A and B are shown apart, each in its own frame.
Chain A
Amino acid sequence: MLGWIDTIVQGVLLGGLYAMFAMGQSLIFGVMRLTNTAHGDFIILAAFGAFSLALAVGLPPAAAPWLALGLMLPIAFAAGYGLQRVVLNRTLGRDPLPSLVVTFGLAIVIQNLLQEIYSADPRSIESGGLNTASVSLGGGLAVGTLPLLIFVIAVAMAIGMQLLFDRTPIGRAFRAVSDDKDAAELMGLDHRHVYALATGIAFLLVAVAGTLHGMKTTVSPADGPALLLYAFEAVIIGGMGSFYGTLAGGIILGVTQAIGFRFDPGWGIWFGHIVFLAMLVFRPSGLFPKTR
């Protein structure tokens, strides 16, 4: 019994990480219906970026990753804004092909550049023991401090993004261009700028997710596609347009995988995919759909 509770708890925490991967994807899709197939690779890029920055700042490992993340945030926002403004805005339209091909091309470029710079060896961001520390929940249960922290940050992200979307002027602009780009334009919104802001914010989320992922486990240049698929599954399971939905989707996926892994390590990921496909069949609009 305790074993099962442990599995579920670990799955929930893993789900927090997946939800974190998915937040940026959820935002970009919600605002501009763009499917970014390089999303997972951007997370891995952020992880390697944090890895190098943490080495470069020369602080003790307990502090270095956090400073690295702090330094990376403005870079990530600028990169996201610029990428959207210069490249991705040109690919948007009725036809999904250009944006898919361009982001897929970016994915291949990122993977191979990372491989060239860092080689294929897996690496991890040194966090001064945080990744091995644990918190006791009583009753013989313990959870890792870092996974718990990741989960808390993921929940905060979901609440923050939902508030940003629902309550702030920039969120109103996001909803306006999402509902009707041309009408929003008539009201004086420049949709190219609004799209770029959305991608900039998505890249902030990606930077946080990448850094924490790199602290929690090892990363290697070819990991991106798997993360993309998890993020995508979390968004679809949760329902498009709702950040709480994305959080729930990530948790469901995490728990499902954890249960699968418990049965057989070879089938964990498979089981997650199957639950996602079953969801498509039985509830194609997800658990908490908002936008269509």
Chain B
Amino acid sequence: MTPHALTAPQFDVSRATTASRAGAVVGLLLLVCLATFPFWADAGWMREFNEMACYLIFAMMWNLLAGYGGMVSIGQQAYLGLGGYALLAMGNFLGVNPFVAVPIAAVLTMLVALPVSQIAFRLQGGYFAIGTWVIAEVFRLSVANVSAVGGGSGTSFTALRGIDKATRQSVTFWLCLAGAAASVALVYWFLRSRQGLALLAIRDSEIASESQGVNVRATKLGVYLVAAFGAGLAGALYFLGNLRISPDAAFTVNWSAFSIFIVLIGGIGTIEGPIIGVILFYLLNKFFSDYGTWYLVGLGLLAIVVTIKFPRGLWGWLSHRFDLHFFPVQRRLVLREPDKEISHD
């Protein structure tokens, strides 16, 4: 045995926590249980689940963009609406099977985001936020002037006509479930990858990370494209379940408002945050949405109070308080001996 003082300390890089291992098992079990829903659950429940799954996907992507990428957008509804309309165009005009068209719609949306990003990236900070909103308005006004898709009043998904109701409901549900699980997995994987590490470095200091060889522009572009893909997926799934689409529903800024609310309440810059946020949002919606305008006034006030008083959100507070990480993206150094742990987040 060599004395400790003479050798460099040996350590392992730990990327998992007890909670993350337990959480993965519970999460998978939950996913399997949910997958059996169409065999026994009420169609109304499935529809509610679908809707919340779409909110989750959209919020997850907004969180990636704003919480990790530092790009606060109020215009992601541009890609949500585009995903919906891409699905409509493929199904109604090209005869593509609507379920097959869902992932294609998401990819098409991402392709559109590539040139659009070159305009949006001209603006920074708060001006980026409003600039993206203008872009979303351009999409809305453009689509509203296309009579082939029903103009301002929208149109129905006639491509779904030949599919019987039970099949349509089950497949839509499974797609929403798979989409939600995949979006969580995608963001988790992205943040644990090299690019994810680069992204976290950029969030902490753009200049310092650039001097360390991080390609800031390429990384931000990557995040923007992934977020557009996710928003397109959410839009395709949402309007697949809705059977109807209109420019005002597809490109409304409410999508951004609700996703900002979900992410902030749950905890921005965490993967658990949007999941908790969407559950809270569902419950609030369930119990208080009858109050109409007062309900929305409440949501607005809650967002203000949370931002000023509890900027970490519910999950941020919990994870800080109990050192709980179900989706650890950080790398922890664990000394081989003596067995001490240096947390590095």
Residues of A within 8 A of B (CB): 29, 33-35, 37, 87, 90-91, 95-102, 104-109, 111-113, 115-116, 225, 228-229, 232-233, 236, 266-267, 269-270, 273-274, 276-277, 280-281, 284
Contacts and interface: CB of A to CB of B under 8 A. Distances in A.
B95 interface: no
24 contacts: A29-B126, A35-B129, A37-B130, A96-B128, A99-B126, A104-B260, A104-B303, A105-B302, A105-B304, A106-B300, A108-B299, A113-B293, A225-B133, A229-B133, A232-B127, A232-B134, A233-B134, A236-B123, A236-B127, A266-B141, A267-B145, A277-B138, A280-B122, A281-B119
Contacts of B308: 87, 90-91, 98, 102
Given A102-B308, A232-B127, 4 more contacts: A100-B126, A109-B297, A225-B253, A270-B142
A259 to B, nearest CB: 16
A195 B264 CA distance: 26
Q: Interface majority SS on A: helix, strand, loop or mixed? A: helix
Nearest to A281: B119
A64 to B, nearest CB: 28
B300 to A, nearest CB: 4
A101 B260 contact: yes
B125 A109 contact: no
B257 A98 contact: no
B138 A273 contact: yes
Given A108-B297, A116-B293, A101 B303 contact: yes
Contact of A101 (B127, B128, B264, B293): B264
Given A90-B308, A116-B294, A280-B119, A229 B137 contact: yes
Contacts of A95: 70
Contacts of A111: 296
Contacts of B119: 277, 280-281
B311 interface: yes
B297 A98 contact: no
Contact of A97 (B72, B123, B296): B72
Contacts, number: 125
Contacts of B260: 101, 104
A283 to B, nearest CB: 10
Contacts of B72: 96-97, 100
A274 to B, nearest CB: 7
Contacts of B141: 266-267, 269-270, 273
Nearest to B118: A281
A39 to B, nearest CB: 9
B300 A96 contact: no
Contacts of A108: 257, 296-297, 299-300, 303
B102 interface: no
Given A37-B74, A228-B130, A274-B138, A106 B304 contact: yes
Interface residues of B, number: 42
A69 to B, nearest CB: 27
Contacts of A225: 133, 253
Contacts of B296: 108, 111-112
Among all A-B residue pairs, the 8 with the closest Cβ atoms: A35-B126, A108-B300, A109-B300, A96-B125, A105-B303, A105-B304, A112-B293, A270-B141
Contact of A229 (B66, B128, B130, B302): B130
Nearest to B297: A112
Interface in B288-338: 293-294, 296-297, 299-304, 307-308, 311
A29 B126 CA distance: 10
Contacts of B133: 225, 229
A35 B307 contact: no
Contacts of B302: 105
Contact of A102 (B123, B129, B307): B307
B311 A98 contact: yes
Contacts of B74: 37, 100, 104
B131 interface: yes
B34 interface: no
B144 interface: yes
A87 B304 contact: yes
Given A96-B125, A104-B260, A267-B145, A115 B131 contact: no
Contacts of A266: 141, 144-145
A273 B134 contact: yes
Interface in B175-204: none
- Name which of A101, A113, A228, A229 has the most chain B CB atoms within 10 A of its CB: A101
B37 to A, nearest CB: 33
A120 to B, nearest CB: 10
Contacts of B126: 29, 33-35, 37, 96, 99-100
Contacts of A277: 119, 134-135, 138
Contacts of A98: 307-308, 311
B45 to A, nearest CB: 29
A238 to B, nearest CB: 13
Interface string B247-277: 0000001000100100010001000000000
B260 to A, nearest CB: 6
A284 B297 CA distance: 36
B53 to A, nearest CB: 24
Listed residue (A91, A232, A276) with the most chain B CB atoms within 10 angstroms of its CB: A232
A105 B141 CA distance: 25
A37 B299 CA distance: 16
Nearest to A38: B300
B125 A105 contact: no
A235 to B, nearest CB: 9
Contacts of B128: 96
A280 B131 contact: yes
A284 B121 CA distance: 10
Interface in B104-141: 118-119, 122-123, 125-131, 133-135, 137-138, 141
